[in-house]
Structure formats: structure tokens, C-alpha cells
Structure 1
């Protein structure tokens, strides 16, 4: 959120009163989790529980964020609160870095450790004689349906250009906000949001192509599962990042944020640039190598 008023209006650290938002959000997540578990196990009501939990989550977050925005625009947030927001967002992004590091580590381990190890002489003689220690592979004894890998041309390259361009437009928008050029800020941020949602659309098309034409599925060995886990989670993060920027865009149109106090904008921008960097790693290690 932004501290959009002078620090003199809130000289102390603002501590909000008791709130039911965390409890409601936790209950919504609990209902979603239980519903998902039931749905996976074939319980009909599980699907509806997931929907109810998701609707409750959106409603709870909507009200919670609205309260936080009112506190910010009401001048209750001092610079001390602003620093807390910055530390909170920094640690959140660090947790996301470690989240993706786990999947990149799994990709590295399977490719450079497990695959050569299973293809050495002992394993070929006594465990899987027909196993080929190549990446990607069809596993032992042909238990995986044949599939084709996804190359870098052209959809992944197009998406790379889209994300890199969105990083540029977002930076231009940020500089325009700092220069107090609100119309330019809104224009370039709207362009960033549009590029983000186009990226999601292109990736959806890529998934349909991979599943129908390349026979690449989630159960297509380690390659298939890691491909969909890495690109799928990244696509989800792009969707969330674009939604965050869309909210910021709406706040800018309403007149929120000032050139010297706009952490809501900056926090969303940090997240977007993080998503850009992760994609570059995916583009290299998934599509090229």
C-alpha cells in the first residue's frame, strides 16, 4: 500500500484494531483445501467446497485490502509502516525465489544426477537393460507414451518478448509516476497489464498444442511433470502479477499514489520484475537446454 500523505500526519507506528480478516481468510483456505482433497478422491461435494472456499477467499481479501487502502489513503501509514511494507514484500519475494529454486533444483538433479546414474553399467545390467540415459527419456521398458518436447520457437520466444517488453513499459510507467505525469503512468501501466494477460493467453494456447499435438502430458515422465510444474506455476504468478497491476491501475485512475509515496505501485513492480527473471531461467533451461 502507499503512504500517500505526509509523514507528519502519522508520526507513530500505526497499529490497526482487532480484525476478523485473518480468521475469515484462513477458514476460506481450509474449506478450499478440504474440498480439493475430497474432489481428488472422487467426492462430489468436494468440487462445490472448492468453489465456496475460493469465493470466500476472494471476498475476504477484497475487504481486507480495501481496509488497508483506506488506512493508507487516510494518512494513517507513516514512513515506519512504509518500511514494514517494504520488508514484508522483500521477504515474500525471497520466499518465491526459494519456491522456484526447489523446482529448478529438481530439474537439475534429474538431468545431471539421476539420469546418468540410472544409465550406468550396474543399473543397465541388473535393473533396466533397455534404459537410455538421455534427456528427456521415456523411462524404463517404455512405460511412458512417446511424446515430443516443446522447443523455443515460436510461442516461448514470443512470450519472452512480451514479458521483456512489459518490464520496459512498467519501468517507464514508474518513472512517469515519480515525475508526476499521471496520464503517462496510467497509459504505460495499462500496456503492461495488457502484455501480461496476452502472455497468459499465449501460454494457454501452448498448453493445448503440447497436449494435443505433442502428446506431452503431466505424466510424461520427469520431463512432462517438471515442464508443467515450472511453466504452470510461473503462468499462475504472471496471472497474479497482472491482477495486482490491474488493481494498481484502478487506484491510479482514482487518484491514489503520489510521486514520493507509492509503495503499492513499487511492490507490484518488484513482483513483476521477479516474474520476468524467473521466465528467463525457464526459457533457457526448459526450452533451449
Structure 2
């Protein structure tokens, strides 16, 4: 049976260029995931910008989100040399920039990931999990978190993990179990994409994530000896001990999330929010 499409009138949220794009009708037949995030790459609507379109199950656009990451332009010869290899550039071509940000977030913070694959998808689960392990520091490798689904009927997907990240190989994202902005992932991807050497890109990602793990390790050394500590106090201790600029509240949330999902929810619960605690007694 031939695949049918729905036409969406999409407007670039940056320059306001408008263009119709066709999206498979099957995307909107699913009900269990609610809205779908559709990645719009450069040249799909306008020649300079890429962005996310939020579409509900009726095919109505509910909003947009900018993607402020650009890939370096490489020579045709360099492009030919990396074709078919497993590298950051080719993974972005498959999953989109926003898809890669989410996949990295899921891997760092130990969220189960389900990818709906089509018949021409060239990677298997072992390869994808090995790539994910390559960016993680020692001690956090070896956990299988990425699973491929053969099911093409989106409404028939059965995923037991309520906190799973779910997308397909056509850059459609069905479920993100977090509400946090992916600022950390954006920063490390931007830094990596400034380098043309593919191996060095993955090494740089690993270094940035390893530094987060180092901050986590020091935080745990403090938390093990206390019944509780306020976020701002812990921020000061980590910053002074590691001789780094003061950690932001956003970064503190990353440390807390890392501890909760990779090490111990009980230890993470020792980190107290001064404002939240004050509001709870009002």
C-alpha cells in the first residue's frame, strides 16, 4: 500500500520564510505520544536555518523551536572519505542535530532509548550502544540503553519504560521523558563540530562529559558525609575544590540528575533547594 502524506504549511521561526512540506500520515495516526517533534533541516524550508516543529495528532502545528548549531562545511574529497563511516557527521545526517542532542542526553543520563528503524537503516543495536559508550567516561560504560524496533505501525509500539526516549530514523521524535533544555549537549556538540577530525570530535565529547562526571564524583564525596546540603552551598564547594568558575543552577541540576539516574536517587535527594524548602512550609 502506497504511503500517504499530509502537507504542512511551515514558517521558519527565524526569518519567516514559508514553505509546504509533506509528512507521512502515519505520524499523526498515533495517539499515545501526543505531539510529535519534526526536525526541519537547512534547505527544507529556508536555505540558512534549521528548527523543530511541534505538531499534534491532528496535524496542527503547535509551535517551533530554533536549532542554533551549524556543521562545518568540508571539501567534497573529505566528504567522500567519511561516507559510510560511523562518525558524528553521519549520525547527524541520520538523526538530525536535535535528534543527536536528545540521544546524547539519554545516554549520559541513562534513559532507555527506542528507535523505530526502517528497512534501509544501516546500524544495529550493538554498534549504536558502542558509539554511546565511546563518549562516556570509564565506570559508566557497558549499559545497553539503545534498542531498535522493527514495528512500522506507530500505534502498535509497546514500550514498557515510561521514561523512555523514542524517535525514528526519519528524524521524528515521539517522546522525550525530560523537560529540561539541552544546553549542555548543545555546548559540547558545538565544540565538537568545530573540529573536522572525526576521531577528535568523539574524544572532545568524552572529555566534556568526563568533566561533568568529575564534578559528580566530588559532589558524592560531600553528600556521603552529610544528611543534606543546600544547592548553593554544594555549588560553592565544588567550584572551589575543582578551581572552576561558579557552577550555574542549571549545571547543578545536571549533577543532581546524573547522580539520581546513574548512581543513587537516595544520595541525590540529599541536595536541597532553599527556595523550594521555604515555599513548602508556607
Larger Rg: 1
- The two structures have a TM-score, normalised by structure 1, of 0.24
More helix, by proportion: 1
Q: Give the TM-score normalised by the residue count of structure 2.
A: 0.25
